Structure 1
Amino acid sequence: MGATRIISKGYRHGTRDKYSKKYRTKGLPGLSRYLTTFKRGDYVDIVADSSVQKGLPYSFYHGRTGIVFNVNRNALGVEMTKIIGNRQLRKRIHVRIEHVRKSRCAESFLRRVKENDQKKRDARLQGKSIVCKRVPQGPKEMKIVKAKPEDVEVLAPLPFVENYF
């Protein structure tokens, strides 16, 4: 008679490594986690903190990035896309602040916007028009390699010699 295997189907099944905390980060989160201000439209990363069980998102959303659509007293409404089969669904979940951190995904974009605005301001003062579009790098410049005849070594295959008796 074979032994029956019990397959766990709980809310946190299969999360032993996913929810485990790194060395020297165990325990409850610090105050700075609670004092972070979030606004609607901010990009946030959902990183589940297993030391706080309240408002813990389902394991699928761990490590996902979304946009804040609602701010409550203790939680944030986060909207993201979930691919199911061949379609993309917009999912809206509410997650407590402990399980959310500000995303750095749009930092370079915002920096570029600021720089472009400054460039436009400077160009307007000088009375010039400026193009802020990014241009692909394109092919490298042509160059000619010159070598002296004594530096060129021609490699030719050696003739085959049979060495059996």
Structure 2
Amino acid sequence: MHLNLHDYQFKNNWKIPFSRNHHLAVIHQNDEHKGKDTRYMFSRPFRKHGVVPLATYMRIYKKGDIVDIKGTGTVQKGMPHKCYHGKTGRVYNVTQHAVGIIVNKQVKGKILAKRINVRVEHTKRVRENDYKKKEAKEKGTWVQLKRQPAPPREAHFVRTNGKEPELLEPIPYEFMA
């Protein structure tokens, strides 16, 4: 957007440094603020604007609960930073209106366990493990809740269809002068 800075200078008592094109200026937005690039991240879904439902405030959080962090644009107080949006953490502290959460955050080559305070409007309890525990209790079995790496492949025979396996090796180096 171009402004005529002569008009702007006299209206707002603003001093302009001299330059060859001082009659034109481009006003830039501040691209270092904490709410940058959150236009869609913190926006409310279609037909979900307005007052936050009261059930949000009636949820009971306990130490050790696993919660998802999702910033709600309706409530600006106690909103998590955009880097924590969509992350999952564990509750370590409960206050009247907020919960303290331990979240993993990658900083360059390290993963740090960060402690943040977030209001309850921006959190949601994760109950998948509770369902698994309940089913296991009914069956009387034990359930693995932590994710496991893929196990190695089981032993099996490889069919060669009558062809003998070849030994592949690099060609020896020959000095040519």
Q: Please indicate the TM-score interval, normalised by the length of the shorter structure.
A: 0.5 to 0.7
> How has the CA–CA distance of structure 1 residues 50 and 133 changed in structure 2, closer, same or farther, with 3 Å as cutoff?
closer
SS of 1:94 mapped into structure 2: strand
The equivalences for 1:3-152 within 5 A come to: 3=26, 5-111=28-134, 113-115=136-138, 118-119=140-141
Percent identical among aligned pairs is 33
SS of 2:67 mapped into structure 1: strand
* Alpha-carbon shift at residue 106 of structure 1 (Å): 2.3
Q: State how far apart, in whole Å, the 1-side matches of 2:72 and 2:132 are.
A: 28
SS of 2:133 mapped into structure 1: helix
Q: State how far apart, in whole Å, the 2-side matches of 1:42 and 1:59 are.
A: 22
Correspondence for 1:143:
none
Q: State how far apart, in whole Å, the 1-side matches of 2:95 and 2:102 are.
A: 14
- Larger RCO of the pair (alpha carbons < 8 Å, separation 6+): 1
Gaps of 5+ in 2: 1-20, 145-150, 155-177
Check conservation: 2:136, 2:143, Cα contact below 8 A. no
Corresponding letter in the other structure for 1:46: I
Aligned residues: 124
Check conservation: 1:43, 1:105, Cα contact below 8 A. no
RMSD, aligned CA: 2.5
Gaps of 5+ in 1: 120-131, 140-165
Corresponding letter in the other structure for 1:30: P
**TM-score normalised per structure 2:** 0.62
**TM-score normalised per structure 1:** 0.66
Check conservation: 1:28, 1:52, Cα contact below 8 A. no
